[in-house]
Structure formats: structure tokens, C-alpha cells
Structure 1
């Protein structure tokens, strides 16, 4: 089975800002509007989830038109999506979890891959494939900051990007942990603001998120 060799690249992306915003886009224009506001606020690594028909086209547009954005594709759930996302311009990939076939494909992906896990056993299995930077999902539902803190002693070489149920109030509890490199979230993308095209609010919330202090 392939061994993951892009760990340093994964860590570098996680270090760009304390938060990786998670975008669900309704159109290419919406994706560009969100991305511009997030980058202006200081959040450079942007995860566009592959949950809508516009996602791949939005990734391509962001990669083409916003050079300061490091755009990635999230909700990778099958090996076939890796090639599609990379062809669209994704510079990193994120999955909510892994199957054996996806884990093997992720290890050989041509761009950094942040695989999802929810338990110590899953984290150890990914570690055996060479992954040292992992997404914990759904973070709040599976134990949150207390779970990640408990993994630091037995798995000291792993770094996490917890995602799922985290907001501005909860973020500091995660970011103070030495094994948390960044967090993922969508709180800086309120649905009411996006519905009105109010990207100024997005930029303001992004700047607030970018000012959070990390522990790793």
C-alpha cells in the first residue's frame, strides 16, 4: 500500500491561518464572493465542499482569479473525486473519513490530503500510512477538545484540524492544545449574510477568526 509523503505540505497549509473556512457554494459567483472576502480577512486556505453542482467550477474560478487563495476540495468520499478536484485546481483535499480504498488513493494523491478520522483507532490506521496531519470530524459530536487532548500522549506526532460544530466561542479551547494546528469551521459564513450577498460581514468575521491564536 502506498505511503503518504506530503506531510510537510499538509502541515504548511494548516499553518496558513488558525482557521480553514469550510464553504458550501450555490454558484461560481457565490464561491468567488466568499473566497475574496475570506482572503481579505486573512484566511487563505479555503475548503470548498463537493456538496453542490457548482463546487468544482467554483474551485476552478477561485484558483484562476484569486491568486492569494489556497483553494482545496472538501467532502472527498471516493477515489474518483481526487482526480476531478485536482483537475479543477484544488491545491489540497479533505475527507470526512476514510475507507480502505480512499485511504490508499489519498496516500498517493498528487496534492496534500487531510483525511478525516473520529477515533484513536482510525488515527492510528492513517498514521501507519504516513499521515501525521489529520482532520477530526465531527469534532464536537465525537468528544471535542477533550478527545484531542487525550490523544496527545499516546500519539504525540499527530496534528489535528478538528471540524464540525465549532464556532468562535469554542475555537480557543481547541487552538490552545499543542496537537491542534488549526480548526475548520463555517461560522464566518452566516447563511443570512450570504443570502444577501453581504460579503463585508464575511470579511469582518474572517478577520476575527484570523486573529485567533493557535497552540501549534
Structure 2
């Protein structure tokens, strides 16, 4: 179960889908994958759900396809046989949870209060769905409710959108959020799959929040590095700050005292979630050099370089 949830955590956003026509399953799955979210929670609110799961799981085996709104053990069997990799329910039904646990089927049941969470703990679960998230009090409610349960993690769903996704995901106990704003049912029925791809890309972009942090310039000596930094200070008022291996001019320019990675230097790109950013870039074929990884005082990844150079510059991600 943990492997599936680990992957979902790296993806960050779980598109929640209600699909009426099986014929839409394949192009919808392609739209999500092309947009950067190879994941879907197909809700058992329509007759097409099980067959849609089967099509997605078969045609796109790289996708993490799950079944949502699962209310009976028969639906658990139907979804699992169709190829679902995880089960989600709107509430915590002890019978369904026990059934899934005994069969080693990953399940994320809905919880909206401490009593639900304690039932989940009793069943041996480590992750639950906070639902309906916004209607149940939103992030403030989840922060207050989760405080006594420091080993429980959450997947909020219900009212999550582009405006609050980063705030939710910034709360450490949240592994991912479910949302439907990029896969609105009306768009699916209208076969607006190109629009779904674009909204999915925008969702990933919003989540990761890439932005230029600084440019590093390689210089052959400390003396020459100091001259370049001084020039930036004189030109633009970027205050010079001398460090052990480099001299910063403001926060925008880092001048290396001796050449470091990159023929010309490096570019630092900040991101909201560095490990999720790595996952999404790796899905596009980019490779990271983990020997360059740097960690903060708590052992969390803080920075890491890509292996390739771009225009003579090395690129590294930086946790905001």
C-alpha cells in the first residue's frame, strides 16, 4: 500500500473523475498523462466506472488509477478486478476497510472528525481522506483535528482548487489532494480533452511554482569574482555579500570564486515542493545528480542539480 501512496504523494494532485461514457476513458487518460498527472480517481457514481478503470489501466499502465465513492465490498471487487490500484470511500465503513486490509488492497477512507481517524488507526491505516475538506472546515479544521495524530497523513478532497492547492499541500501531513477542477464532467462529456490537458498542465505548474531564484557565474579566482559582484553592486545597487565559495550581488547573482558546475555557471530554480518537482521532471526524461544533493538541518532535501547543462549552464532546483 505504501508504494502506491508514495507515488501519489509525488504526483501531488489526484484528479477525481465522474465519467458517463466508456469511450471517453482512453482520451481522458491520455489528456491527464499529457498534462503531467498520470493519476485518476474514477468515482463509482456512474455505470461506466468499472469499465473506464479497466480501459485506463490497460491502455496506460503507467497511470495510478483508483476507484472512488466505493460503498460496498462488491464494488471493491469490481474495481480491483478492473485494474484499480487503490480504493477511496467518502466515509469510513469498518466493514469495507477491514475487507480491503485483509486482501491487502490500498484503501483511503473518508474522515471528517477525530472519531473517524481513531477508527482508521484501529484498522491499521496510515492515510485517510479528509472529506468534504472545505465544507468540513478546510485547512484550519484539518490542522486542529490532526494535531493529536502525528503519524496519520491525509488526502483532502472536496473544494480543492487552483487557488488553495499550494496552501493545502504545504501542510506536511498532507500527501496529496483530490480535485476535479481540471476534469470537470461537462468538459469530459463535451470531449474537450485538449482543454483538460491544458488545465492539467496549469494545475501542475501552479503546484510546483517554479521561479528563477538566481544566476551563478563561474569565475577563475576570488579576485575576479569580487570585481564582477562589485560591478553588479555599482550598476544596480545589488548589495554585495561575501560567502565561503561565492559572492552574492543581491539575491539575483551568485559569482563563484572558482569554477563550479556548468561551463559558464548555474541557474537556480526555486520550487514549492522539490521532491514533487523532481518526480514530474523525471517523468519527462530528465535525470538528477543525487551526488549534488544538499539537505537542511532536518534532513529534508533542499537543493539538487540536473545532470545535463542548458546553454552552458547547470540547473539546480531549490526548495522555497
Same fold (TM over 0.5): yes
CA apart distance, 1:104: 1.4
2:37 match: 43
CA apart distance, 1:66: 1.2
2:83 match: 89
1:209 match: 203
Please say if residues 82 and 109 of structure 1, whose CA atoms lie closer than 8 Å, have aligned partners that are also in contact.
no
Runs of 4+ in 1 over 6 A off after TM superposition: none
CA spacing shift, 1:81–1:190, aligned 2, 3 Å:
closer
- Larger-gyration structure (1/2): 2
**Quick one: distance in 2 between partners of 1:73 and 1:171?**
22
1:102 match: 96
Please say if residues 20 and 185 of structure 1, whose CA atoms lie closer than 8 Å, have aligned partners that are also in contact.
yes
Matched position secondary structure for 2:42: strand
**Quick one: distance in 2 between partners of 1:114 and 1:169?**
24
CA displacement, residues 71-124 of structure 1 (integer Å, 9 cap, x when unaligned):
111111112211111111111111111222122113223331111111111012
CA apart distance, 1:157: 0.8
Matched position secondary structure for 1:15: helix
Matched position secondary structure for 1:139: coil
Query: How many pairs does the alignment contain?
Result: 210
The runs of 5 or more residues in structure 2 that have no matched partner are 209-271, 276-320
Identify, as 1 or 2, the structure richer in strand: 2
CA spacing shift, 1:140–1:205, aligned 2, 3 Å:
same
2:134 match: 140
Identify, as 1 or 2, the structure richer in helix: 1
1:3 match: none
**Quick one: distance in 2 between partners of 1:29 and 1:46?**
16
CA apart distance, 1:10: 4.5
2:154 match: 160
1:116 match: 110
For CA contacts below 8 A with separation 6 or more, give which structure has more relative contact order.
1
What is the aligned-residue RMSD (CA, Å)?
1.7
Matched position secondary structure for 2:41: strand
**Quick one: distance in 1 between partners of 2:185 and 2:73?**
31
Corresponding residue to 2:26 among 32, 51, 65 = 32
TM-score by length of 2: 0.62
Please say if residues 76 and 96 of structure 1, whose CA atoms lie closer than 8 Å, have aligned partners that are also in contact.
yes
Corresponding residue to 2:69 among 72, 75, 90 = 75
